[in-house]
Amino acid sequence: MPTLRNATDRKGLVERLGRVTPESKAQWGKFDAPRMICHLGNALDSAVGELAVTPTGGPWMLRHFPMKHLALYVIPMPKGAKAAPELLARAPGDFEADRRRVVAGIERVAALPGGPRPTHFLFGPMTVDQWNALNWKHIDHHLRQFGG
């Protein structure tokens, strides 16, 4: 499974992010490219504890093995999944500045030390490795959404 911890995996995501333009069109969903970039920045902020996200009380089974493992590492991220409101709250600004924020967030998540991490709003307690895998998967999902 790719992860932000792997330099080659990170580099691939950053290169793909560089191909997204403000005019890029989504192949599914309601995001435009600037909104998607802000959403990714918010998700990365939540992984490092800089953005609190209220737990959704989603299916309890997603907080436990084996469903949590399957959702994080095996099953593709579903198209049309609902995001927590906090992950949608930031309005797009300067596209290049927002993209740089995502790239910086990728590096921050990749560099997280071990120890307690923020609780995920859907998956509950997460390890650093789980946060890195989930964020790679999430970013990849949205880059595929925009053809990247």
DSSP codes of every residue in 77-115: PPTTPPPPGGGG-SPP--HHHHHHHHHHHHHHHHT--SS
Q: CA distances (Å), 40 to each of 12, 50, 59, 60, 120, in order? A: 16, 13, 23, 25, 15
Question: What's the rounded mean pLDDT across residues 6-17?
Answer: 98
- For residue range 17-75, list pLDDT tens digits in order: 999 999 999 999 999 999 999 999 999 999 999 999 999 877 888 999 999 999 999 99
Q: Is residue 1 part of a domain?
A: no
Q: Is residue 96 part of a domain?
A: yes
Question: What's the rounded mean pLDDT across residues 72-79?
Answer: 95
Our count of domains for the chain comes to: 1
- For residue range 93-108, list pLDDT tens digits in order: 999 999 999 999 999 9
Q: Is residue 101 part of a domain?
A: yes
Q: Is residue 48 part of a domain?
A: yes
Name the packing angle between helices 95-110 and 7-19 (round to 10°). Answer: 170
| pTM of the complete model | 0.96
Q: What is the pLDDT of residue 115?
A: 84
Collapsing DSSP to helix, strand or coil, 43 comes out as helix
Domain encompassing residue 59: 7-19+30-145
- The confidence band for 140, taking pLDDT boundaries of 50, 70 and 90, is very high
Q: Is residue 66 part of a domain?
A: yes
CA distance 144 to 10: 15
- For residue range 113-135, list pLDDT tens digits in order: 988 889 999 999 999 999 999 99
Q: Is residue 70 part of a domain?
A: yes
Q: What is the pLDDT of residue 114?
A: 87
Torsion (CA) 82, 85, 89, 92 in degrees, nearest 10:
0
Q: Is residue 2 part of a domain?
A: no
- Count of alpha carbons within 13 angstroms of residue 33, beta-carbon side: 19
Q: What is the pLDDT of residue 134?
A: 97
Q: Is residue 11 part of a domain?
A: yes
Nearest to 4 by CA among 88, 96, 106, 80: 106
